[in-house]
Amino acid sequence: MSKQAVFQDVISDYSFVLSFVCKILTMNTVPDTRYVFVTGGVASSLGKGIISASLAKLLQARGYSVTIQKLDPYLNIDPGTLNPYEHGECYVTEDGAETDLDLGHYERFLNVPTSQANNVTTGRIYQSVINKERRGDYLGKTVQIVPHITDEIKRRIKLLGSKNRFDVVITEIGGTVGDIESLPYIEAVRQLKWEMGSRTVVIHLTLVPYLAASGELKTKPTQHSVKALLEEGVQPDILVLRTEMDLASDIRKKVALFCNVDSKAVIQSIDVKSIYEVPVKMQEEGLDHIVLEKLKLPIGKAPELKEWKAFLNKLHTAKKTVKIALVGKYVELPDAYKSIVEALIHAATYNDHKVEIESVQSEHLTKENVAEKLKGAQGILVAPGFGHRGFDGKLVAVNFARQNNIPFFGICLGMQCAVIEFARNVLNLENANSKEMDHTTLYPVIDLMEDQKNITDKGGTMRLGSYDCSIKKGSIAYEAYNTENIKERHRHRYEFNSEYLAEYEKNGMISTGTNPDTDLVEIVEIPKHKWFVGVQFHPEYNSTVLNPHPLFMSFIKAAISIKFDK
């Protein structure tokens, strides 16, 4: 064979191999990001965030890279200045954004951190458009809702997918269809559906109420909700129906007929005991299969969700209970401490226990009633917060935990309360306080951070986001994390006053975690106590279903060991 013939054979073989490799590399890739929009109708608080997170979990389990973003229709720039009674917990991302609490659900389900790009508010949209107008970017044109506001909404939606190369971006639109505030977002979705075609899917979540008096499930509210969406130019592709009872096939067919939706795309979301059951229920209903089919993406084999189901099995089969007192001033509203509650559930489950959370209103807690209010608590967690209301009650709770050797966990302000209580009752520094509560105190054991002293604006100006912390070996924190270097998220303006540190450590409360750059005290412990830890950061934000937070795991384990005489 000639050299030329040999060379041609080599080239031919090389081309074949290269072609084969390219096919393998591109087999599971997606040329264009797909977008799923989740809207809600009939009533608020139906669980769009949980449905979004559940779908994302299922798609992720199938091998797709997925993220979720929340579009909130209020005019605040972010929820950082909102009262928890108005909006529930303010969730903080690693990059320091104060966001909607649904981002916590996204992270807990996906086990992937979110960022400020995952939460957009109307306030942020308008701020961006007005800033562009002031710079002259619109070249003298009249700035209007359409196209300028809707264009900015579309830009924010598409930015997340193009910037991070996600296969699927799920966008949850806050509010309810028909709300004036949501109209620009629905219009943006209408335009995107027209522009992207099969790369988009709209899921509409509604309620099918059960009327006990007549013994009927009523579909009319759903029909009216879809009609309102159609009037705004958007035809839903999939309907997810929240219900207390199983929906018979005839009801699904009726809804499909009157709402112009395939009958197989009418999905029921029946009430369940735990939000973590929803992904399994949605898989049983075939939600992920239908979404992939409509997006023209490879469906493949259904995921087994082994780890997820193992967690659910432990959650449902735990026979023993551990009782934790959650002390705070917003305990009447469960969503105010949502991440803490979920972190406690994660930790208790992995410790083979159910957690019984006793919500204790700190505003009503006194020295006289504390023993009764905290009776039977195997662990006491003092929650974060701001302001004077309920502050004295938190100090009472700290004192009760310390004096009675009950496992204590203080988070953010809870940690600061521990420091103040110790100063008053152990160091004998009369009326020691935080400058937040009393700017004239003679003993400011908690002081305003140096870089906060010239700040006057309240929104987005705290110490926010993830920071390094170095942990001392031999401490409770070190035993929990099993490492000397960690990163945790912060949201505060005040800090431990290190001028008093030597006196604290001489009397039994020590610093076991500090920021390596600023020497800020991040963790305090009382070694002689059974389990007494205060942290300036928010560990609850880093607890997920498949990765419970180590400090919560350690706290629950200590609480389980507490036994009371019956």
Catalytic residue list: 412, 538, 540
What single letter denotes the amino acid at residue 339? S
CA angle at 435 for the pair 429 and 438, rounded to the nearest 5°: 75
Beta strands of 26-110 (E only): which ranges? 34-40, 66-72, 91-92, 98-99
Alpha-carbon span 341 to 444, nearest angstrom: 31
Alpha-carbon span 278 to 293, nearest angstrom: 21
**Contact of 102 with 94, CB cutoff 8 Å:** no
Alpha-carbon span 246 to 240, nearest angstrom: 13
Element (H, E) at 534: strand 532-535
Cβ count within 10 A of residue 65: 15
Mode of pairing for the β-strands spanning 433-434 and 444-448: parallel
**Contact of 207 with 177, CB cutoff 8 Å:** no
Alpha-carbon span 548 to 550, nearest angstrom: 6
Burial 442-471, CB ≥16 within 10 A → b, else e: ebbbbbbeeeeeeeeeeeeebbbbbbebbb
Residues 6+ apart with CB under 8 A from 412: 384, 385, 491, 492, 535, 536, 537, 538
**Contact of 202 with 235, CB cutoff 8 Å:** yes
Least Cα distance to 35 among 340, 291, 325 occurs for: 291
